Amino acid sequence: MLKIDQLSHSFRNGLEWTEVLHQISFEVHKGDMVALLGSSGSGKSTLLNLMAGLMKPTEGSIYIAGQDIVTMNENQLAEFRRSHIGFIFQAYELIPNLTVRENIELPLVFQGLSPRKRKEKAMVLLEQVGLPDKSEMFTSQLSGGQQQRVSIARSLITEPSVIFADEPTGNLDTKTEEEIIAILKELNKSMQTTFIIVTHEREVAEHTRRVLTLRDGHLEEEPVRTPVLGGTT
Amino acid sequence: MRIRDYMSLAFDQLRRRKVVTALCAAGISIGCAAIIVAMSLGDSAQSYAEKEMNSFLRIDEITVTPFSAGGNRSGESNPNSEEAIRGQLTDQKLEVIRKLPHVKSALPMQSLSYMPMFMSDDRNNHVEVIATDLNELMSMGNTFRQGSPSDIPDTIVLNHGATFGLIDQQALNDLYTKLERDPFNEELNKQINQIQKLPASLYQKQVRFKYQGMEPNKELSSSYMRVTGILAKPANSTDSMAVYDKKAYVSFETAELLMDQLKLSETSGVAPLKKGQYNAVVVKVDQQDHVAKVEEQIKKLVLNTQTNLNQKDRLTEQFAIIRTIALGAGLFVLLIASISIVVAMTMSTYQRRRQIGIMKVLGANLGQIRNMFIIEAALLGFIGGLIGVLMSYWIVWGINGAVITATSSQETIIFIPFYIIPLGIFFAILTGVLSGIYPALSASKTDALTAIKRD
């Protein structure tokens, strides 16, 4: 499903190069829910951006659904993201002048799907994230937890191969964090969607069965174990 | 992405940024209105000039003459030559001309000569005597102010101008003698001018024509003729213009009588009238645009034609220059307006960088981002264009109101031709699109990662 092979990345800092990621390799299978744990500056956000095709690595390959995204140009990457990758951001990144439903439909707008089909899909997902009555509201009228649910629904609308969640609970209180994690786990279980959750919080990572830890650009995998509230793999 | 989605996103953006939208639309609308008003002024001026010119030059008329009359290379004409016979303007050809498409009427009109017309009290003026079918005069667009044509011989129809300036010859001679002595006497000049504009009542009066014969001091005189009709003043004409256009229409039968009495063939070289043959026919065409086509058909009948179309073409050429200048001025205003759009859209691109970044992360490609901005700019242009159209109608209404007040005329001079409206909107949209290209390219090149990064 997702294969990272000998991935390295360096930044140029004046005349010197700083290596952020060093020879990283791992695989994620369909339906996995993996936590990418690391402290600030460990390179986890860089790894996420590379896997999402938002950056080009210095070395190595990234295969998603059998395609090497490193060799793709900007337009090919845009089309690939449109159909294979979903995103959940720490700050939700919803468009304020669009309604909840329109925000969820947005990736399908770029696919050219008809408004009727878009609406049907969006309403099903709104039901799944527990916001069926908020479809015509603007995102500014929602709480942080509700906005993150909308963001989750938006990431699922194209039925992507993998969803990257960048600190999905970083802006939420503990209670809401639990709710969001529960939704992600439920969706992972019911829809067999692959999730890669980037976090710096051990508590969040413990909800997944598989934890990859990044330290100074090197990847370490913790032994597979039973997650706190149960997992699928 | 669907067009509907592009439109919906663009409209949403314009609605959200009301002040910027209003400012940009105002800029475009001023430019669009400038184009519409400037071009309308050019068109209206041409139309007015054509209308005025048509009343003098009669552009919708074709004068047809026999082919031999000035048609051969040597300039001499032998009436019995084969060419002359083929080129005769006969009754049959007249009938063919009358049946041609777009021909409203065709009327034989043979000018006899300019000659003095005397009333019974010896007051006189000079008129052009024309032989024609009096019953067909109305088919040439004339209307009768008084009376009607008569089939009785020795009757005459006068045009409006022929009723002016009838004065006793001796009195006129006295005035001219005085003027010769004192050429800068304004009072005298004014008096002569006023006499030229003096109307006389000629309906049902007797008039006769006099002509200087071949023998010295022997003046030939026609018999008295009764004025049975007086034509109304042509539309778009004034009395001041009419005094220089004095015509007397007689039937061919009466013309023959005049020719005989005044010996016109000998004294003024007027060709004798022949039954079934004409020296000139005036053809009236339904529209000016059809004149060239009808003229071509008539030439195929081996006849000479003469029109004033070249005058119209010259006028059109001159007004084309005026219109181009007007269009240029309007485009210049639009160019200035486009700068405001470039600035506003570029600012908008910067303000929406984060949104563009999110869209790119969610799968929008370069083309889709670029098109979003271009369609937004085009929509802005369209809105500006619509406001510009309304504004131009308001300006034209204002100008017409001012002209009517100043001239106490009831006729609106400036109008907006229909074809200018889509042209104005087209230029407004074009300005929007062209102005939107740079911001659109700039937006599409936005780096998604940089855009969504939070400090």
- B378-406 pLDDT tens trace: 998 999 999 999 999 999 999 888 888 87
Using the Cβ of B454 and the Cβ atoms of chain A, whether some distance falls under 8 Å is answered with yes
Average pLDDT value for residue range A43-64: 90
* 3-state SS assignment for residue B397: helix
- Give residue B236's pLDDT band: very low, low, confident or very high (50, 70, 90): low
Last residue of a domain, one of B307, B331, B352: B307
- The answer to the question of residue B190 being in a domain is no
Q: What is the percent of chain B where pLDDT is above 90?
A: 22
Q: What is the pLDDT of residue B151?
A: 82
List CB contacts (< 8 A) between B12 and chain A.
Answer: 97-98
Q: What is the pLDDT of residue A144?
A: 87
Q: What is the pLDDT of residue A233?
A: 40
Alpha carbon distance B218, B212 (integer Å): 6
Q: What is the percent of chain A where pLDDT is above 90?
A: 28
* pTM of the predicted protein model: 0.67
Mean pLDDT of chain B: 85
- Please report, for chain A, the start and end positions of each structural domain, with discontinuous segments joined by +: 2-8+30-221
List CB contacts (< 8 A) between B448 and chain A.
Answer: 54
Q: What is the pLDDT of residues B436-450, one digit of tens each?
A: 888 888 888 888 888
Residue B69 has pLDDT above 80, yes or no: no
Claim to verify: residue B360 and residue B401 sit in the same structural domain: yes
Claim to verify: residue B413 and residue B444 sit in the same structural domain: yes
List CB contacts (< 8 A) between B1 and chain A.
Answer: 109-110, 112
- The answer to the question of residue B187 being in a domain is no
- The answer to the question of residue B371 being in a domain is yes
Residue A189 has pLDDT above 60, yes or no: yes
Burial B418-433, CB ≥16 within 10 A → b, else e: eebbebbbebbbbbbb
Claim to verify: residue B322 and residue B364 sit in the same structural domain: yes
Residue B94 has pLDDT above 60, yes or no: yes
Claim to verify: residue B108 and residue B137 sit in the same structural domain: yes
Alpha carbon distance B27, B443 (integer Å): 23
> Across the strands, what pairs with B62?
B283
Q: What is the pLDDT of residues B370-381, one digit of tens each?
A: 999 899 989 989
State which amino acid sits at residue A104.
I
Claim to verify: residue B159 and residue B268 sit in the same structural domain: yes
Last residue of a domain, one of B280, B307, B334: B307
Question: And the tokens for B192?
Answer: 């002569």
Q: With an 8 Å Cβ cutoff, are B449 and A55 in contact?
A: yes
Alpha carbon distance B360, B263 (integer Å): 99
Mutate: best of B362, B441, B446, partner A, most A CBs <10 A:
B362
Claim to verify: residue B344 and residue B279 sit in the same structural domain: no
- Give residue B264's pLDDT band: very low, low, confident or very high (50, 70, 90): confident
Q: What is the pLDDT of residue B78?
A: 65
Q: What is the pLDDT of residue A231?
A: 42
Q: What is the percent of chain B where pLDDT is above 70?
A: 94
Residue A130 has pLDDT above 70, yes or no: yes
Q: With an 8 Å Cβ cutoff, are A109 and B1 in contact?
A: yes
Q: What is the pLDDT of residues A19-46, one digit of tens each?
A: 888 899 999 998 889 999 988 888 888 8
* 3-state SS assignment for residue B144: strand
Claim to verify: residue B48 and residue B67 sit in the same structural domain: no
Q: What is the pLDDT of residue A120?
A: 92
Q: What is the pLDDT of residues A155-180, one digit of tens each?
A: 989 888 899 998 888 878 888 888 88
Last residue of a domain, one of B278, B307, B336: B307
Q: What is the pLDDT of residue B265?
A: 79
Claim to verify: residue B208 and residue B288 sit in the same structural domain: yes
Q: What is the pLDDT of residue B77?
A: 57
Q: What is the pLDDT of residues B118-162, one digit of tens each?
A: 998 888 889 999 999 888 888 888 889 999 988 888 899 999 999
- The answer to the question of residue B294 being in a domain is yes
Of A49, A97, A107, the CB nearest to B363: A107
Claim to verify: residue B71 and residue B28 sit in the same structural domain: no
Mutate: best of A47, A55, A95, A138, partner B, most B CBs <10 A:
A95
- The answer to the question of residue B184 being in a domain is no
Claim to verify: residue B111 and residue B130 sit in the same structural domain: yes
Residue A85 has pLDDT above 70, yes or no: yes
* Architecture of the domain delimited by A2-8+30-221: 3-Layer(aba) Sandwich (3.40)
| Range of the structural domain that residue B260 is part of | 62-164+199-307
Q: What is the pLDDT of residue B283?
A: 92
Claim to verify: residue B292 and residue B322 sit in the same structural domain: no
What is the domain count for chain B? 2
Q: What is the pLDDT of residue B68?
A: 66
Alpha carbon distance A91, A100 (integer Å): 15
Of A55, A89, A110, the CB nearest to B363: A110
Burial class from Cβ neighbours inside 10 Å (0-12, 13-18, 19+) for residue B142 reads middle
Q: What are phi and psi of B81, to 5 degrees?
A: -70, 155
Average pLDDT value for residue range B173-187: 86
Claim to verify: residue B89 and residue B227 sit in the same structural domain: yes
Q: How far is B449 from chain A (nearest CA, A)?
A: 6
DSSP codes joined into one string, B321-362? HHHHHHHHHHHHHHHHHHHHHHHHHHHHHHHTHHHHHHHHHT
Q: What is the pLDDT of residue B262?
A: 85
Residue B73 has pLDDT above 50, yes or no: no
- The answer to the question of residue B186 being in a domain is no
